[in-house]
Amino acid sequence: MKKINVNINGIDVVVPEGTTILNAAKKVHIDIPTLCYHPDQKIKGSCRVCIVEVEGQSTFSAACCTPVRNGMRIKTNTKKVREARKTILELILADHNCDCLTCIRNGNCELQILCEEHNIDTISFDKVVKLLPINDKNPAIVRDESKCIKCGRCVEVCNEVQGIGAIYNINRSCEMKIGTAYDKELKNVKCTYCGQCINVCPVGAIYEKSNIDEVWQALEDDNKHVVVQMAPAVRVSLGEKFGMQPGSIVTGKIVSFLRKIGFDKVFDTNFTADLTIIEEGNELLHRINNNGKLPMITSCSPGWIRFIEYFYPELLDHLSTCKSPQQMFGALAKTYYAEKFNINPENIVVVSIMPCTAKKAEALREEMSDSGYQDIDVVLTTRELARLIKQSRIRIEELKEEDFDSPFGITTGAAAIFGATGGVMEAALRTVYEEVTGEELKNIDFKNLRGINGFKEGTVKVGEIDVKVAVVNGLKNARMILEMIKQGKADYHFIEVMCCPGGCIGGGGQPRGTNDIKKKRIEAIYKVDIQSAIRKSHDNPVIKTLYKEFLTKPLGYKSHKLLHTHYKDRSDI
């Protein structure tokens, strides 16, 4: 590739043709501020915060979208540049609700940081921001238009990564805003509550609905028996919110914390992930042996469930009828657990800590009360857990690691990998193989199904049959595989679909992170697996006890009542 010589702030640098000014500057450790730019997204070039001076040019160039030319001489931090950037920021602030102290992003807002760095001490322009009511009439996502800076990141993720298009740019000029058709509430449009928009928003314009207060309230209520479950992806990402390296595993510290603030029992969603594998594995075998609907598709990702209900209701019978691990947990907590420990289920409060915003909506589905009560009472995201920790003033870094409580605390490595794309499939194959062949699976690492790629496939010989599987993550890829099914081009037996790019570790309730950070989380997930004493779901002794004492058998009567569900055609919305 052709090399280009440029000079930035007096420093010569050689870069390949096509490199942007921004990246060329990075190479020589020159930091140019950005706002609409996001490393995992297309370049937008719209906020203009990254403007720089180019010698011989009467106008500025935006560093994010301007490729360098040979001999270009660039200045990134002149008085002229600084003043223009300041004016741009002030223009943004004039149309921004600057109530930083009461903003959810106080302290981690990209705009706030830029303002600090640019010494913004006043806004020269009239305030033009419209303080409209906050949109929060849905279970999961809050939108505050007064904070929106129109960077377009959420629109890109919703339309191009997830392929949904619940939101788009509406109107033009200064009336331009990000919104739904006819300004409808999110619950009245085809929004899956995946929360990917939240993860890319640089400011506090879109965020999860907080349920923290409900948790504190339950914990202070002596009449309540409050139990908590934590999903596999939470433990490999929470540390980032406390200055730890991405990929730090903080399971024991979180357990310790949750116990400290008064949860009666601290359980692991991984337990019901193991249970999901048993039920789903058996469902798959049942379908294969009885000419059932194939390919069967996983059902543990609630954003994905909403997606197929909205856009492909005609394919709903491909979905496994298994509830998600979160919901299996809730159903068991208020039945099996309540009976076993003689607790009135009416007094049990089940809290989930999930990497996911869609889980908040899932918990409220009317089907999810098979225990006779709403199975899951409160869902917190990983980010909310971080806020809960800060609010408690307990220093999580200093806590000793503790173990989960029994019975739902003994789990396997197979369950741990649910948190990464390909994990459910890998866990299922470990079990299905041994179930069918009766032989021990020697190499249990299905490495070709791992990693952040949007689409992966493989074939595994299980006894007589070559089981053909596919793994997709991100809803645009999900759409692709559903189209393949519709056209009869998907001759798979089993497909794993995760709503969020990278799987749950990239969930809409996770600390904001780029693809590089997601990769670190995935590595950590597999480290948890490797370090587990048991790595196959069907080897989990407590699962065996559960079937013996309560469920009797996979796909049995009680399983059907508590652990399986049905779906709805929501295409009409």
Catalytically annotated residues: 280, 283, 300, 320, 359, 362, 367, 504
Q: What is the CA radius of gyration of the chain?
A: 25
String marking each residue 128-167 x if it binds another protein according to CB under 8 A = x---------------------x--------x----xxxx
Residues 347-406 close enough to bind another protein by CB under 8 A: none
**Residue number with CB closer to another protein (185 or 220):** 185
Q: Find the Cα–Cα–Cα–Cα dihedral 367, 369, 371, 377, rounded to 10°.
A: 140
Q: Identity (one letter) of the amino acid at 285?
A: L
| CB of 182 vs another protein, minimal distance in Å | 6
**Residue number with CB closer to another protein (125 or 557):** 125
Distance CA 199, CA 193 (A): 12
Distance CA 82, CA 427 (A): 54
558, 566, 545, 571: which is closest to 189 by C-alpha? 571
- The reply on whether position 88 binds another protein by CB under 8 A is yes
- The reply on whether position 171 binds another protein by CB under 8 A is yes
**Residue number with CB closer to another protein (186 or 228):** 186
Residues 264-283 close enough to bind another protein by CB under 8 A: none
| CB of 318 vs another protein, minimal distance in Å | 21
Close Cβ partners of 521 (under 8 Å, ≥ 6 residues apart): 233, 236, 237, 246, 247, 419, 420, 502, 505, 506, 513
**Residue number with CB closer to another protein (28 or 170):** 170
**Residue number with CB closer to another protein (184 or 568):** 184
* Contact pick of 28, 65, 315, 316 for another protein (by CB under 8 A): 65
- The reply on whether position 168 binds another protein by CB under 8 A is yes
The backbone region for 182, taken as left when phi is positive above 0, alpha when psi lies in -120 to 50, beta otherwise, is: left
| CB of 571 vs another protein, minimal distance in Å | 9
Distance CA 497, CA 457 (A): 12
C-beta atoms surrounding 215 within 10 Å: 26
**Residue number with CB closer to another protein (84 or 343):** 84
Q: Identity (one letter) of the amino acid at 56?
A: G
DSSP state, 345?
A: G
- The reply on whether position 176 binds another protein by CB under 8 A is yes
| CB of 46 vs another protein, minimal distance in Å | 5
String marking each residue 24-63 x if it binds another protein according to CB under 8 A = -------------------x-xxxxx-x------xxx-x-
- The reply on whether position 175 binds another protein by CB under 8 A is yes
* Contact pick of 28, 91, 113, 394 for another protein (by CB under 8 A): 91
Q: Which residues pair with 297 in a beta bridge?
A: 319, 495
DSSP, collapsed to helix, strand or coil, labels residue 322 as strand
| CB of 69 vs another protein, minimal distance in Å | 9
Q: Which 3-state string (H, E, C) describes 252-271?
A: HHHHHHHHHCCCCEEEEHHH
504, 279, 288, 287: which is closest to 381 by C-alpha? 504
- What number of helices (H) and strands (E) belong to the chain? 19, 17
Burial class of 123 by CB neighbour count within 10 A (0 to 12, 13 to 18, 19+): middle
* Contact pick of 10, 101, 119, 126 for another protein (by CB under 8 A): 126
Q: Write out the residues near another protein by the rule CB under 8 A.
A: 43, 45-49, 51, 58-60, 62, 65-67, 84, 87-88, 91-92, 94-95, 124-126, 128, 150, 159, 164-176, 179-182, 189-190
